[in-house]
């Protein structure tokens, strides 16, 4: 199985035209649509611009900047136009909190700021304050030093707030919308096209039959085929996520340790779907057309082209049961806050069951085609 999987990967990497569609085209589309559908802040952070004048000599002022960046604010260290707020942190901010005499920070909201963004910022500042107080108390009680604040602040909260169903007020825009949307669409499109065509061509040329009579089991062949197509999706997703993180401040990659496992499950489901497609559409030239016809409606219905938050609720419920809409829901949750496993447990269950069903169907169709 390892030899066959290695052969698949090496052959894939040699396909220059395929690599263009896997790497270059998704990034071009993500950047283009990110600029077209950017938020009112003019950038990739739909929460808006915030100026933080940090005079603090300790770590808490720096942690506040990092906290707001993770909440998709475009944080600037100087006063700039069109900000939703200017936050001035005094020099004794850290020392005051650690000594039990906390000074106040000054938050100024321009008079012409409209919408719910000031209220959103106040809510995040309140969240930060609670975590900051908890961290300061922990450090004092355990006789730790001030420099340990970053590590203590990053610890998981001891209390989890119960979430109730409701319409999201924060809607992703700009690069925060385009990068995950194009990631999902192109991962699905490329796995279906490349994975489907290569399998169909192998079946038509007799390579698949010769492979099965070689010293490799049918289970090993199927496992290598599914894993190879899954690796294509994960490879492409990582490139898009890293590019978004490094160059466009789209912080999905570092938002949760559960994102990559869920993307892997999504890629696994599409990998099985590509094999099912190859065993259903007998003409290799028509597989590309079938993949496009299948991908584009699912991308639109799943929220890859626009936020699911703006569509009717019945549409949102339908989208959750689509593979594109389900993984898009994970990105939407990441956009609002850092997620734990309980937040995406239902998504994970769906993305575990779906590949199993599609793999069983693909194996059944493959056996029928080989008889």
- How do residues 10-19 score in pLDDT, each as one tens digit? 777 777 777 7
Residues 72, 38: contact at Cβ < 8 Å? no
For residue 45, what pLDDT band results from cuts at 50, 70 and 90?
very low
pLDDT for 38 equals 63
State the distance between the two ends of the chain, measured CA to CA, in whole angstroms: 22
pLDDT for 270 equals 95
Residue, of 329 and 99, whose pLDDT is higher: 329
Distances (CA, A) of 357 to 9, 288, 350, 361, 363: 25, 23, 11, 6, 10
Task: Indicate if the pLDDT at residue 245 is higher than 90.
Answer: no
pLDDT for 322 equals 95
**Distance between CA atoms of residues 345 and 330, nearest Å:** 10
Task: Indicate if the pLDDT at residue 294 is higher than 90.
Answer: yes
Residue, of 218 and 231, whose pLDDT is higher: 231
How high is the mean pLDDT of the chain? 81
Residues 329, 349: contact at Cβ < 8 Å? no
Q: What is the pLDDT of residues 128-156, one digit of tens each?
A: 888 888 887 877 777 777 777 777 776 65
Distances (CA, A) of 249 to 38, 151, 254: 13, 23, 11
Average pLDDT on 161-175 reads 58
pLDDT for 57 equals 80
Q: What percent of the chain has pLDDT over 70?
A: 85
Distances (CA, A) of 352 to 323, 327, 346, 348, 359: 11, 12, 10, 6, 11
pLDDT for 298 equals 95
Average pLDDT on 298-320 reads 89
pLDDT for 161 equals 45
Task: Indicate if the pLDDT at residue 367 is higher than 70.
Answer: yes
pLDDT for 78 equals 86
Other Cβ atoms within 10 Å of 97 Cβ, number = 24
For residue 207, what pLDDT band results from cuts at 50, 70 and 90?
low
Report the predicted TM-score, pTM, of the whole model to 2 decimal places.
0.65
Average pLDDT on 273-288 reads 88
Residues 244, 30: contact at Cβ < 8 Å? yes
Average pLDDT on 110-114 reads 74
Residue, of 241 and 170, whose pLDDT is higher: 241
pLDDT for 118 equals 81
pLDDT for 114 equals 63
Burial class (CB in 10 A: 0-12, 13-18, 19+), 166: exposed
Other Cβ atoms within 10 Å of 293 Cβ, number = 11
pLDDT for 209 equals 63
Q: Phi and psi for 50 in degrees, rounded to 5?
A: -135, 130
Residue, of 278 and 48, whose pLDDT is higher: 278
Task: Indicate if the pLDDT at residue 241 is higher than 80.
Answer: yes
Q: Phi and psi for 323 in degrees, rounded to 5?
A: -60, -40
Residues 250, 244: contact at Cβ < 8 Å? yes
Residue, of 88 and 120, whose pLDDT is higher: 88
Average pLDDT on 304-321 reads 88
Q: What are the residues facing 54 on neighbouring strands?
A: 89
For residue 33, what pLDDT band results from cuts at 50, 70 and 90?
confident
pLDDT for 216 equals 60
pLDDT for 248 equals 84
Task: Indicate if the pLDDT at residue 307 is higher than 90.
Answer: no
pLDDT for 40 equals 40
Residues 47, 72: contact at Cβ < 8 Å? yes
259-280 and 218-247 are packed helices; what angle lies between their axes, rounded to 10 degrees? 130
For residue 167, what pLDDT band results from cuts at 50, 70 and 90?
very low
Average pLDDT on 297-323 reads 90
pLDDT for 191 equals 93
Task: Count the alpha carbons within 13 Å of 156 in the hemisphere toward its beta carbon.
Answer: 9
């Amino acid at each position: 199985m390892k030899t066959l999987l290695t052969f698949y990967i090496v052959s894939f990497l040699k396909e220059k035209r395929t690599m263009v569609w896997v790497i270059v085209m998704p990034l071009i589309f993500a950047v283009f649509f990110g600029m077209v559908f950017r938020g009112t802040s003019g950038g990739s952070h739909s929460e808006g611009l915030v100026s933080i004048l940090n005079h603090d000599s300790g770590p808490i002022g720096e942690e506040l900047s990092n906290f707001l960046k993770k909440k998709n604010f475009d944080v600037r260290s100087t006063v700039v136009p069109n900000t939703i707020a200017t936050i001035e942190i005094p020099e004794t901010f850290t020392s005051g909190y650690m000594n039990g005499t906390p000074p106040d920070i000054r938050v100024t909201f321009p008079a012409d700021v409209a919408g719910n963004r000031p209220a959103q910022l106040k809510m995040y500042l309140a969240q930060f304050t609670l975590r900051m107080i908890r961290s300061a108390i922990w450090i004092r009680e355990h006789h730790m030093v001030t420099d340990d604040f970053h590590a203590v602040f990053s610890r998981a909260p001891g209390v989890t707030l119960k979430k109730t169903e409701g319409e999201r007020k924060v809607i992703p825009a700009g690069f925060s919308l385009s990068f995950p949307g194009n990631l999902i669409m192109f991962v699905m499109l490329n796995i279906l096209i490349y994975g489907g065509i290569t399998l169909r061509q192998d079946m038509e040329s007799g390579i698949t039959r010769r492979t099965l009579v070689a010293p490799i089991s049918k289970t090993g062949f199927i496992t290598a085929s599914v894993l190879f197509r899954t690796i294509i999706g994960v490879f492409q997703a990582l490139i898009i996520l890293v590019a978004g993180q490094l160059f466009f401040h789209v912080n999905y990659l570092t938002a949760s340790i559960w994102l990559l496992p869920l993307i892997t499950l999504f890629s696994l489901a599409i990998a099985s779907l590509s094999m099912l497609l190859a065993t259903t559409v007998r003409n290799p030239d028509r597989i590309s057309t079938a993949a496009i016809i299948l991908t584009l409606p699912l991308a639109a219905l799943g929220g890859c082209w626009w936020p699911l938050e703006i569509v009717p609720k019945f549409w949102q419920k339908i989208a959750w049961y689509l593979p594109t809409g389900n993984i898009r829901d994970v990105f939407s949750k990441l956009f609002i806050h850092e997620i734990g496993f309980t937040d995406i447990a239902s998504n994970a269950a769906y993305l575990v069951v779906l590949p199993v069903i599609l793999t069983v169907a693909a194996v059944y169709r493959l056996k029928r085609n080989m008889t």
